[in-house]
Structure 1
Amino acid sequence: MKAHWKILIWMILGVLVGGFLQLFLEAPLAVGLVLEKQGDSILIQKVDKAAKKAGLAPGMRIDAVILRRGRKGEKTVPLHEPKDFFAVLPEGKLGDVVFLRVREGTKTDLKPLTLEMAEDAPRRVWIQPFRYGAQLFMALLKMLIVPLVLTSIISGVAGVGATRDLKRLGAKTLGYYLMTSLFAILTGLFLVNILRPGVGAELGLPYQEARAVGRSFWDILLRMVPENLFVALGDNGRMLQIIFFGLLFGAAITIAPEPHRGRVRDFFQSAFEIMMKLAEMILKLVPYGVFCLLVKVVGETGFGLFKPLALYMGMIVFGLAFHGLIVLPFLLQFMGRIRPLAWAKAMAPALMTAFSSSSSSMTLPVTLECVEKRGGVSNKVSSFVLPLGATINMDGTALYECAGVIFLSQYYASIGGVSLSLGQQVFVVVMALFASIGAAGIPSAGLVMMVTILSALKLPVEGAALLLAVDRPLDMLRTVINVWSDSCGSALIAKSEGEAVLANLDSRSG
């Protein structure tokens, strides 16, 4: 069975099982607070683990509770007696965050409290195995991040070579790939900030306060350089440092003398191939990870999460269409004087293969044949540009990563987290650009890269797993854009080398 059908089937099963658990099993709310009236407010006498996570402690006074803060229908309810607090809780749902207005002496503060199921709730007991399954899947994804990105970047940069022709081709190729990836990222950044699909979304993810990752562009530059490489390798949150080291190390390999250059290059190429196989093994678990996650989320919060996910999905589709139908054809027409429709016709078999396989690497043989035999590009150019593109050029993935991360950050900000500043959004752009270079050309590899960026931002990675619910069709479209960009790059570079692009197609049509 095709992978996308398997994911769809398990996704539907996850929704059905989660819906069944929600409809037929009780789940009383538990806030973990023992309260008593004292004067004109309520005194906290005792707290449990969930309340401690919210920063609540005995001796604090609560004088109001805020429901749906920052969203439509925000409501502030003054509290005079403990029964007022427990009377207002049913207005919230499992997974909602309510804010308690707390007084400590003369200070007033807001404390976020996530509404959870009671420890002994029947629904919680049944959901727990699926929660463990989702956590295990996310742990496996995080395990891939460092070795996959490091070996991918080093092998890709080292493969450029050191001869004059290769240097010229390499400079043109890397320049084109960085330019188009940046265009794609900025498209995603623009759309997600204009549409703001994460604001007020009900995703059912728990509140966690975001920590700042850098306040200015100079902070980003300083964070790029690892003071200790081995410390960086042990921390997914230092991914920008690992990418920076990988770029420098790969460049150093290209200028090292033989036999060392060949030995080290071959070692990292072999390591990358092995990591690709390991990633393929783990990504075969995607259907089951989606199933466990959807059982957990739907079982806890219901079906409300699908509305914001549909808006997010529509935004990504529009962004990919804009990049593939406007930006890349514009470059073909005005930079290379190549007819976009004719080039698309020549690339049709490769684009259809990319859509069905969701893998740039698996599509590579078809792309090579189309570019050479139908597009008229020489083997000298195509054999260099396309394999490198299948490894490091991921326009669709870069757009998806940037928009997805900011979508999740908007959600966390709307429930009381810290919104991303301009400097932090620049950080996301830089990370998405570098992470797209390190994204392997295999199905759902963009998910691993999104986990990378979320880790670097100190945001919970569970949000990336939730986006798996709509990831498969987006992954197919992303791969089409990735392959389309690779083919456009080979055409533009061949044209700059003086080759007659589309001559074969023109002679057949004539």
Structure 2
Amino acid sequence: MNLSVQIFISLVLSVVVGLVLGDGAAAPVKTWIAPIGTMFINLIKMMIVPVVFCSLVVGMTSMGDMKKLGRIGVKTLCIYMVTTAIAIVIGFAVAGVIEPGVGMALPTDAAAPKVKEAPSIMQVFVNMIPANPIASMAKADILPVIIFALFVGAGIVSVGGKRAETLISFFDASAEVCYKIIGMIMKTAPVGVFCLLLPVVVQNGPKVLLPLLSVIICMAVGSVIHAVCVYSSLTAVSAHMSPLTFFRGMSEAMAIAFTTCSSAGTLPVNMQNVQTKLGVKRDIASFVLPLGATINMDGTALYMGICSLFIANVFGIPLTVDQMMMIVLTGTLASIGTAGVPGAGLIMLAMVLQSVGLPMEGLALVAGIDRVLDMFRTCLNITGDAAVAVAVNATEKE
């Protein structure tokens, strides 16, 4: 049976079993099932830094040209910013039709959860340069690892000769070993996905989800619209790739992202899929995807559009066109400003609410179902990374 089918069956099975068991089984599930899911995530996370570093060094040496790297970087950033802005607009459109939060009674004990302050844009740039590359690797800070790998690749190119060929062969072989290990880990994916999703279904049963079902429906519908319309159009126009081919190639990575809620955690699987199934060259995949895992947040942008309108509806505050435009602008820029920050979704939403004067207490309403919404966010984020990689790859074919 195809691995994607196995993962899908385990997804469905985890939902069914979780609903049958109910919240009464939360304690044993947390004790015996959840740790197996954590072990699966750790296996994937184990490969993030090695595969990103080795692939990026090999990609850099195969380019052999800083001009080409700059050209790819500009294209990638521009497409990421445009798709992020479109995602917020789609979020507004879907929420405008479904109208989540209209007529909803506001809990009297609602208090805004504590959200870490987002770093300034200059601090993000400062943090990109690793004072200690090994420490950055130990903490799995992707942006500093990308910068260090680019310098290592550029250094190897400048050295040239037999010594450079030796290093290139070493990193090339290391990258291939990483992909083989990822293949081994993915064979355990059906079990890992089941053990990850079952505790979520048990803890967030119908009692928690039903009052905010309209928000979850908005998120699901918006994610499907954005993926089908924006990403399919992007890959079809740039690479003449059919939507069926694209989504079939992405099915494994999308399932892993949906259950782990981690763009960085899905990165090794995503890098393998886009190269082996979507035909993206390694030098492009190794640059576009790690960058996308940290700064491309289409799913989070969609979530901001939906949640800001939901909070406005709950508090009975009509949003003006100017406020909506401010949310689009703030959300697009915030996607870079919160790069690599844990809980980036809530940080970005807090920044957006503050920019248009919506009550911060609204964060408490969506915080309870944030884990469920995060599944859709992450899945859309990594799908967008792959779509941009396919598009950039198509434009760079000699």
Into which bin does the TM-score normalised by the smaller protein fall?
0.5 to 0.7
Richer in strand (by share)? 1
Question: Which entry has the higher C-alpha Rg, 1 or 2?
Answer: 1
1:79-98 per-residue CA deviation (whole Å, 9 max, x = no partner) reads: xxxxxxxxxxxxxxxxxxxx
Q: Which of residues 264, 267, 271 is equivalent to 1:361?
A: 264
Q: Which of residues 377, 386, 392 is equivalent to 1:493?
A: 392
Q: CA deviation at 1:379?
A: 1.4
Q: CA deviation at 1:490?
A: 0.6
Q: Which of residues 474, 486, 501 is equivalent to 2:373?
A: 474
Which residue matches 2:320?
A: 421
Q: Secondary structure at the match of 1:425?
A: helix
Q: Which of residues 315, 336, 339 is equivalent to 2:218?
A: 315
Alignment of 1:266-415 (within 5 A): 273=140, 309-412=212-315, 414=316
Q: CA deviation at 1:339?
A: 1.9
Separation in 2, partners of 1:188, 1:462: 21
Is 2:337 the counterpart of 1:434? no
Which residue matches 2:34?
A: none
1:378-430 per-residue CA deviation (whole Å, 9 max, x = no partner) reads: 11101100000000111111100121022102222x2xxx5333222222111
Alignment of 1:133-212 (within 5 A): 163-205=66-108
Which residue matches 1:451?
A: 350
**Amino acid in the other structure paired with 1:436:** S
1:332·1:488 contact (CA, 8 Å) conserved in 2?
Answer: yes
1:172-196 per-residue CA deviation (whole Å, 9 max, x = no partner) reads: 1001111111111110122223333
Which residue matches 1:79?
A: none
Which residue matches 1:225?
A: none
Unmatched runs of 5 consecutive residues or more in structure 1: 17-159, 209-234, 254-261, 277-286, 295-302, 500-510
Higher RCO structure, 1 or 2 (CA under 8 Å, sep 6+): 2
**Amino acid in the other structure paired with 1:430:** L
Q: Scaled by the length of structure 2, what TM-score is found?
A: 0.60
Q: 1:391 to 1:202 in 2, by over 3 A?
A: same
Q: CA deviation at 1:435?
A: 2.5
Q: 1:336 to 1:353 in 2, by over 3 A?
A: same
Separation in 2, partners of 1:443, 1:274: 11
Percent sequence identity is: 33
Q: Secondary structure at the match of 1:200?
A: coil
Q: 1:348 to 1:453 in 2, by over 3 A?
A: same
Which residue matches 1:68?
A: none
Q: Secondary structure at the match of 2:369?
A: helix
Q: 1:265 to 1:428 in 2, by over 3 A?
A: farther
Q: Secondary structure at the match of 1:364?
A: helix
**Amino acid in the other structure paired with 1:379:** R
**Count of residues in Structure 1 that have an aligned counterpart in Structure 2:** 284
Q: 1:202 to 1:454 in 2, by over 3 A?
A: same
2:238·2:395 contact (CA, 8 Å) conserved in 1?
Answer: no
**Amino acid in the other structure paired with 2:375:** M
Q: CA deviation at 1:245?
A: 4.1
2:288·2:388 contact (CA, 8 Å) conserved in 1?
Answer: yes
1:89-113 per-residue CA deviation (whole Å, 9 max, x = no partner) reads: xxxxxxxxxxxxxxxxxxxxxxxxx
Separation in 2, partners of 1:275, 1:459: 33
Which residue matches 1:462?
A: 361
**Amino acid in the other structure paired with 2:242:** R
Which residue matches 2:189?
A: none
2:101·2:214 contact (CA, 8 Å) conserved in 1?
Answer: no
Separation in 1, partners of 2:138, 2:94: 37
**Amino acid in the other structure paired with 1:397:** T
Q: 1:272 to 1:398 in 2, by over 3 A?
A: farther
Separation in 2, partners of 1:360, 1:441: 10
Q: CA deviation at 1:489?
A: 0.8
2:257·2:378 contact (CA, 8 Å) conserved in 1?
Answer: yes
Separation in 1, partners of 2:259, 2:394: 29
Q: Secondary structure at the match of 1:350?
A: helix
Q: 1:268 to 1:203 in 2, by over 3 A?
A: farther
Q: CA deviation at 1:434?
A: 2.1
Separation in 1, partners of 2:137, 2:354: 27
Q: CA deviation at 1:356?
A: 1.8
Richer in helix (by share)? 2
Q: 1:427 to 1:246 in 2, by over 3 A?
A: farther
1:117-174 per-residue CA deviation (whole Å, 9 max, x = no partner) reads: xxxxxxxxxxxxxxxxxxxxxxxxxxxxxxxxxxxxxxxxxxx9x9322210110100
Q: CA deviation at 1:270?
A: 7.3
Q: Secondary structure at the match of 1:203?
A: coil
1:226-256 per-residue CA deviation (whole Å, 9 max, x = no partner) reads: xxxxxxxxx95xx6xx655457x569x8xxx
Q: Secondary structure at the match of 1:405?
A: helix
Q: 1:264 to 1:434 in 2, by over 3 A?
A: farther
Task: Indicate the larger mover: 195-204 or 323-332.
Answer: 195-204
Separation in 2, partners of 1:374, 1:452: 38
**Amino acid in the other structure paired with 2:274:** V
1:444·1:472 contact (CA, 8 Å) conserved in 2?
Answer: no
